């Protein structure tokens, strides 16, 4: 489609329109119009103020209050990471190293619950109760030593005496010695103070120590082995002694000679016979002998045991073995 511009006259060039003059607007209605504008502005300002006070200000105040409360609260305490204790790189003393390998993993040397235990001191027990207490004493003591002996401790001597005291002396790292002392203090009995028990500076980084503990296991009336029920008459002593020697050989306690009689005492309806056994062993093998005698319910007790290291794991054992028989 062709569009034709009807507003244009053919043959004439249209002139540019003149620019219209712009006049400044005058307020409508004169002074009254100005007043109306002012009132409108005031109304708008009032509405804005009302909206601010009613809606904006409470929200802002609440936000500031939350910020102030947050600032006044103590900072959160970071959760402490569990401390990882690395195992000691020290090697357990040769005197007790092997017994740990054999007994520690199966839990057999854990502290017994000792049901129906009566806390009667040994010296106050009647003879019949002493016989039962004595037969269990060595097993209780050696299980305790195996639990408490810290790694890296070098024992020079270990003594168990008269069903009342356990003493040891040796050397090692101070921290390990202190751990050992703490373990013995948690056992049944009492660790004697200085001068009986002590820690002293030694050569280089080693410390020397001595510890004396007085165990008190009480009457273990719930234990399955009550020695009083297995006593023989005096005529059966030779057979009991033979069983002891056989089990000692089975457990690698190599006695230098047959046990020799040391003393005989009569106490009421019983006869108390002490034999001395001397030989070579390891701590683990001798501990095994004590547990075997308990398991086989052999009615004997160790009145005194002295252990002295000789070389590597080998130790010299001197034991006074008490046999109680009926008259």
C-alpha to C-alpha distance for 227 and 134, rounded to whole angstroms: 9
The per-residue pLDDT for 114 is 52
Percent of the chain clearing pLDDT 90 (strictly above): 57
3-state DSSP of 224-264: CCCHHHHCCEHHHHHHHHHHHHHHHHHCCCEECCCCEEEEE
Range of weakest confidence among 48-57, 122-131, 255-264: 48-57
Helix (H, G, I), strand (E, B) or coil at 73: coil
* CA 287 – CA 134 distance, rounded (Å): 16
pLDDT digits (tens, 9 = 90+) for 243-258: 999 999 999 999 999 9
Report pTM: 0.67
- Residue 109, classified by CB atoms within 10 Å of its CB into exposed (0-12), middle (13-18) or buried (19+), is buried
pLDDT of res. 141? 97
Q: What is the pLDDT of residues 92-125, one digit of tens each?
A: 445 654 444 444 445 555 555 554 556 788 999 9
Q: How far apart are CA 157 and CA 93, in angstroms?
A: 12
CA geometry: angle at 324 spanning 320 and 327, to 5°? 140
* pLDDT tens readout for residues 266-300: 999 999 999 999 999 999 999 999 999 999 999 99
User: So what's the pLDDT on residue 100?
Assistant: 44
Q: Which residues contact 26 (CB under 8 A, 6 or more apart)?
A: none
C-alpha to C-alpha distances, 78 to 74, 75, 81, 128, nearest whole angstrom = 12, 9, 9, 61
Domains of the chain, start order? 94-326 (3.30.70.60)
Helix, strand, or coil (residue 142) = helix
pLDDT at position 278: 98
pLDDT averaged over every residue in the chain: 79
Instruction: Give CA–CA dist 44/27, Å, rounded.
Output: 20
- Condensed to tens digits (0 to 9), the pLDDT of residues 211-236 reads 999 999 988 989 999 999 999 999 99
Q: What is the pLDDT at residue 205?
A: 75
Tokens describing residue 297:
């319910």
Rounded CA-CA distance 170/206 in Å is: 10
């Amino acid at each position: 489609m062709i569009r034709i511009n009807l507003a244009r006259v053919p043959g004439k060039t249209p002139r540019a329109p003149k620019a219209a003059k712009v006049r400044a607007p005058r307020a409508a209605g004169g002074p009254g119009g100005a007043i109306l504008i002012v009132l409108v502005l005031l109304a708008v300002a009032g509405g804005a103020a009302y909206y601010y006070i009613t809606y904006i200000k409470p929200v802002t105040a609440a936000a500031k209050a939350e910020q102030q409360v947050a600032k006044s609260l103590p900072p959160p305490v970071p959760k402490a990471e569990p401390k990882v204790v690395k195992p000691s790189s020290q090697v357990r003393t040769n005197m007790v190293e092997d017994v740990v390998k054999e007994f520690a993993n199966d839990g057999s040397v854990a502290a017994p619950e000792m049901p129906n235990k009566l806390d009667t001191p040994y010296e106050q027990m009647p003879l019949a109760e002493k016989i039962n207490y004595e037969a269990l004493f060595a097993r209780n003591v050696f299980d305790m030593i195996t639990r408490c002996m810290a790694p890296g401790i070098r024992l020079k001597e270990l003594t168990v005496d008269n069903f009342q005291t356990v003493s040891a002396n040796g050397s090692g790292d101070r921290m390990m010695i202190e751990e050992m002392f703490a373990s013995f203090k948690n056992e049944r009995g009492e660790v004697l103070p200085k001068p009986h028990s002590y820690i002293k500076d030694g050569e280089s980084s080693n410390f020397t120590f001595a510890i004396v503990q007085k165990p008190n296991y009480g009457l273990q009336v719930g234990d399955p082995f009550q020695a009083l029920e297995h006593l023989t008459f005096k005529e059966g002593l030779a057979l009991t002694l033979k069983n002891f020697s056989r089990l000692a050989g089975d457990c690698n306690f190599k006695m230098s000679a047959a046990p020799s009689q040391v003393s005989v005492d009569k106490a009421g309806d019983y006869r108390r016979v002490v034999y001395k056994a001397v030989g070579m062993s390891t701590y683990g093998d001798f501990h095994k002998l004590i547990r075997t005698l308990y398991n086989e319910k052999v009615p004997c007790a160790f009145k005194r045991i002295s252990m002295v290291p000789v070389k590597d794991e080998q130790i010299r054992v001197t034991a006074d073995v008490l046999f109680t028989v009926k008259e």
